[in-house]
């Protein structure tokens, strides 16, 4: 489960070379909408959302890959 504050931080444009603040908000909203009522979202679901945004030319491939890396690291740390 990812709490909203962590989701906002993970979607942040800070530290991302190409991601703008507007794109960051777009990603946060898309992932928030995809989360279940219990706040759970899988890495696969995150990838699907990010890939859809990339396919719609709303974020770049580099943004998708950078964000996926952040989420993978988050999930790895939270499972320890």
- Mean pLDDT of all residues in 2-6: 88
Question: For residues 12 and 24, is the Cβ–Cβ distance under 8 A?
Answer: yes
Question: Any idea which residue has 């960051």 for tokens?
Answer: 24
DSSP code of 17?
A: S
Quick one: CA dihedral 53, 59, 61, 63, positive or negative?
negative
Is the pLDDT at 1 greater than 80? The verdict is no
Is the pLDDT at 7 greater than 80? The verdict is yes
Span 21-66, pLDDT tens digits: 999 999 999 999 999 888 899 999 999 999 999 999 999 999 999 9
């Amino acid at each position: 489960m990812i709490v909203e504050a962590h989701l906002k931080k993970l979607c942040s444009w800070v530290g991302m070379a190409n991601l703008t603040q507007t794109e960051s908000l777009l990603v946060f909203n898309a992932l928030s909408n995809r989360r279940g009522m219990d706040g759970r979202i899988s890495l696969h679901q995150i990838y699907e959302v990010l890939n859809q945004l990339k396919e719609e030319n709303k974020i770049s491939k580099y943004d998708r890959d950078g964000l996926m890396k952040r989420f993978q690291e988050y999930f790895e740390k939270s499972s320890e």
